[in-house]
A and B are shown apart, each in its own frame.
Chain A
Amino acid sequence: MYAETMQVNNGVNVAALLGAREALVQTPEAARFTWRASCNWVNGTHSRATVEGYHGLGGEQQHKTRFTFDADHPEVFASEDNGPTPVEYVLVGLAGCLTAGIAAVAQNRQIQLHSVTASLEGDMDIQGILGMDSDVRNGFDDVRITFEIDADASRDEIEALVAQSQKRSAVYDILTNPTNVSVRVK
């Protein structure tokens, strides 16, 4: 039968991921990763960040390409708008993380995806960052994501994909739970 020979392919190598998980059981220290970025001030509120190397699987690793990211603020902040605002990068990170998770979980559950579209919103009261009201926090006070997913699966199965993706998402965890952050001057 044609239907029986169709392979689910979301472009995720689940076998490799599960193999890595199996291997890391024996060498849990190799599971320690350190991610890095560097950043240079350009002018005004414009900065340019670079991502290239990282540490993991017991050694130094390199991305295939050196990635650069311009961050700035829009003109309503009297800036030049040379790039997204840093908080928008946070939304981008969350979207990328959850979407990758959905693809991987779908592959593992043999669910063919046709399209996955996420819309994200983060609410913020800028009285916080402007120092106008100490009761207002600087960051997001609410983040919302809506997924539209076309897949060969029931609505419950799709909701379960999204739930599992949140459960295993690094950026979701970073946003919902506190993290120790140290900032120092060299």
Chain B
Amino acid sequence: MIGDLRRPRFCGARSVAVVVIGAGHAGLAMSRHLQRCAIDHVVLERGEIANAWRHERWDSLRLLTPNWQCRLPGFRYAGPDPDAFMTMPEVIDFLCAYATHVSAPVRTGTTVSSVRPAPGGYHVITDQGEWRCRAVVMASGAFNLPLVPALADAIPARINTLTPRAYRGPDQLEEGGVLVVGASATGLQLAQEIHRSGRPVTLAVGEHVRMPRLYRGLDIQWWMAAAGILDQRYDEVDDLERARRVPSPQLIGSPGRSTLDLNALTAEGVGLVGRVVGLRDGVLQFSGSLRAHCASADLKLGRLLDTIDEWARTTGRWESPGTADRLSPTRVAARPPLSLDLKAGAVRTILWATGYRPDYAWLHVPAFDRKGRLRHDGGVVAVPGLYVLGLPFLRRRKSSFIHGCGDDVRDLGDHLLNYLGGARRRPARGSPPRSEALEATATV
């Protein structure tokens, strides 16, 4: 029954209905969905399962979401500590267990070098051979290539520069001062860790999202999930483009469930400066907008907690919500420095925690906008038969989180099934994976 989905073989390319690119949580969840719909597919993975978690993250990193929230379709954390946060080895174990659980047809060590349209679908070229398929699901993640400002190229050579992808721990840095650029989750966590290692940190702060770890005794993620904020859909927000660019919240997953905000860092002695905006004669220039950015983040946090309070009040969660749990306003020095002379020697290292972008260098389809961003409607890419998963606010506010991909996989899986014309083959929800699918994938 799978044969009619295949294209004729030629040029030595293997045929399969769907190629899934990436064996992270999203690719594995999509693989499970396809198996349950008896869709012949393969999951191509450049490295190993959970590759980015293995090789592209720092040693002390833990997930920003608590264990109870670590769930994937048909699978969830069942350990003894639902309120803790997984370390990287634990995330890797979790995803490997999921791959085994869903019997995903993963081909590891297979790097995709080209995807381009071909008659009846797509032609996928890898370093382990070629594939013909009718549809492609890109689950290769949103955080492939570090984004650094253009002026990074002009930083004097005597200054060490690196990105979080190359950072493992403070000991790899030279002794001396460190400028951490970027105040999202990554920037704050690394600023704290590096400062505690005895390397004085200055943190350059632009637009950011402030968030307490706990609110009224419960994890902020619990409140946001319960109040429906994480489920907010991409077609319900006023300015989707902006919603997709919102930086990751200032959260840390630590054993003590502590809040990590700018006040916590300045209390430890980290210095705050504005956004990096220029470099002239070896002098870095910072924006004078630090106070505005902090005030704006404080206001937005206030509105988030107001929304949560309102939800709690209308659902009877408590009678009279006070404001006792509110964080105090962000403290900013009267006149934060506007420049840093890199020739002076106080700062030896610059860490660009300025975000990531997805890598689509291998994707040859006419689906990019004038700024090189992939055009898609909730993951349905602007060319038929091509889908993307796991991007920020792809279909919901939670889309880029592990627990957020289940609903997206279901929606996009249904769309994909219709595209393949295979809706009639769809087994009833909840039925076990069909063995034909497993056999088919085993024989391609």
Contact = CB atoms under 8 A, between A and B. Distances in A.
Interface string A138-181: 00011000000000000010011001101100001101111000
A23 to B, nearest CB: 15
B184 to A, nearest CB: 17
B287 A177 contact: yes
B303 interface: yes
A167 B296 contact: yes
Interface residues of B, number: 17
Q: Most chain-B CB neighbours within 10 Å: which of A156, A159, A167, A177?
A: A177
B contacts with A: majority SS = mixed
Given A28-B370, A163-B292, A177 B299 contact: no
Contact of A176 (B289, B299, B303, B335): B289
B42 to A, nearest CB: 38
Nearest to B274: A176
B287 A176 contact: yes
B295 interface: yes
A172 B303 CA distance: 24
A159 B303 CA distance: 12
A contacts with B: majority SS = helix
Contacts of A167: 292, 296
A177 B277 CA distance: 6
Q: Most chain-B CB neighbours within 10 Å: which of A156, A160, A175, A176?
A: A176
Contacts of B306: 156
Contacts of A172: 289, 292
A178 B178 CA distance: 23
A164 B289 CA distance: 13
28 contacts: A28-B370, A141-B335, A142-B335, A156-B299, A156-B302, A156-B306, A160-B299, A163-B292, A163-B299, A164-B296, A166-B292, A166-B296, A167-B292, A167-B296, A172-B292, A173-B289, A176-B274, A176-B287, A176-B288, A176-B289, A176-B292, A177-B277, A177-B278, A177-B285, A177-B289, A178-B277, A178-B280, A178-B285
